[in-house]
Amino acid sequence: MPKNKRVLLAQRPVGEPGDECFKIEEVDIPELGDNEILIKVCWLSLDPYMRGRMNDMKSYVEPLQIGDVMTGESTGIVVKSNSEKWQVGDRIAAHMGWQSYIVAKGDDPRLMKVDLGNGSLSAHIGVVGMPGRTAYFGLTEVGKPKAGETLVVAAASGAVGSAVGQIAKILGLRAVGIAGGAEKCRYVKEQLQFDAAIDYKAGNFTEQLAKACPDGIDIYFENVGGDVTRAVAPLLNEGARVPICGYISNYNDADISKSESPFQILEKLDPVPEHRFFVVFEWQDRYEEATRQLGAWVKEGSLKYRECIGEGLDNAPELLRGLLKGKNFGKQLVKIADEEL
């Protein structure tokens, strides 16, 4: 019987989370009880929100406690089942942390059946999974887009940002992406077909952003914060909407409570634009709807995506550090095992 390898929070980070913040261990897999299933994990998603969960501070969910399995979503295969709901061989998504095997109750709300007709197993923690749904609901429900408007999205080559801009184009908006470096900007402009891509690392970033938005900005989809938000803020039109997904530029600050947040930057404006922080769980009852729509757009070629793949749970801490520095190109995944029973 294989063992379950898992990664625990060993201590809280101050700034960047070093290896000392993680503990990797192997434990026996328990026998299944009634209504339980065993999942072999094939893919693990790494996402910026994980850094915030490592802090002992109030947020939209409880922080991780020392000794908890690191939070995260994965996809895999049901290899044993004592549940009427699940069959051996079913593909499944589970929001149950960094581990190679998962024992779960068959009716656990953190489980979702994967329909490979909507995309690959890895895509279900990417473009048709949580990041894609975040883009879909954040833009359509919070951004309230109208054809002809100008949208600006930060981290435009990442898993969420790339989907936001492409969905905006599908809905008839003008899409301007902000990304770090010439290669990412070329990808956003040439492959994803944004109307413009601006390099925030370039010396003339503010000037180039203003040039790309001659009619101002109607929707700013916030992923980054800091200097990027400060450059966007003066260009926001009256009636602009700002869905705030996150602000990764501050996540490794030693004390994020002392950082200037996007909320503080936006509230200095007159008039103050409509803005709010959102989490994808607000639309949990519509996940299947979003995944089907995202999958349809992928199939027709109007929603493209890129995956950045690392290997093995042992490397997940370093890959998370890289993600927080923008080293990934596209959706950051960790391959845990092959997709076979």
Mean of per-residue pLDDT scores for the chain: 94
Say what the pLDDT of residue 104 is.
98
- Residues 149, 275, single domain; the answer is yes
Is 301's pLDDT higher than 70? yes
* Distance from C-alpha of 138 to C-alpha of 154, rounded to nearest angstrom: 13
pLDDT at 248: 74
Cα angle 81, 82, 88; round to 5:
20
Q: Kindly state whether residues 155 and 84 are assigned to the same domain.
A: no
What pTM, to 2 d.p., does this model score? Answer: 0.92
Strands, DSSP E only, in the chain? 4-9, 22-27, 36-45, 74-81, 91-94, 101-105, 111-113, 150-153, 174-179, 196-199, 217-221, 236-244, 274-277, 307-311, 331-335
Question: 324 with 233, same domain?
Answer: no
- Confidence category of residue 52, pLDDT binned at 50, 70, 90: confident
Is 340 part of any domain?
no
286 domain residue, yes or no: no
pLDDT, position 159: 93
Give the structural domain span for 83. 4-126+306-335
97-119 per-position pLDDT tens digit = 999 999 999 999 999 999 999 99
Same domain, 149 and 43: no
Q: Are residues 103 and 159 in the same domain?
A: no
Domain boundary at 245, 265, 281, which? Answer: 281
- Judge if 81 and 139 occupy the same domain: no
Same domain, 20 and 151: no
Q: Flag whether pLDDT at 150 surpasses 60.
A: yes
> Residues 235-267: pLDDT tens digits?
999 999 999 998 876 666 556 566 788 999 999
Low-confidence winner among 58-62, 204-208, 261-265, 270-274 (lowest mean pLDDT): 58-62
5-21: pLDDT as tens digits: 999 999 999 999 999 99
Is position 289 within any domain? no
Give the CATH number of the domain where residue 34 resides.
3.90.180.10
The count of domains in the chain is 2
CATH number at residue 222: 3.40.50.720
Residue 295 placed within a domain: no
pLDDT at 274 over 90: yes
| pLDDT cut 90: percent of the chain above it | 87
Do 119 and 214 have their domain in common? Answer: no
Tell whether 114 and 152 lie within a shared domain: no
149 shares a domain with 116:
no
158: left (phi over 0), alpha (psi -120 to 50) or beta: beta
| Alpha-carbon span 217 to 237, nearest angstrom | 6
The verdict on 45 and 137 lying in the same domain is no
Kindly report, residue by residue over 175-229, the tens digit of the pLDDT.
999 999 999 999 999 999 999 999 999 989 999 999 999 999 999 999 988 899 9
Please give the pLDDT value at position 1: 75
Position 254 in a domain: yes
- Asked if residue 292 is part of any domain, the answer here is no
Shared domain check, 74 and 171: no
Radius of gyration of the chain (CA): 20
Residue 291 belongs to some domain of the structure? no
- Is residue 290 in some structural domain? no
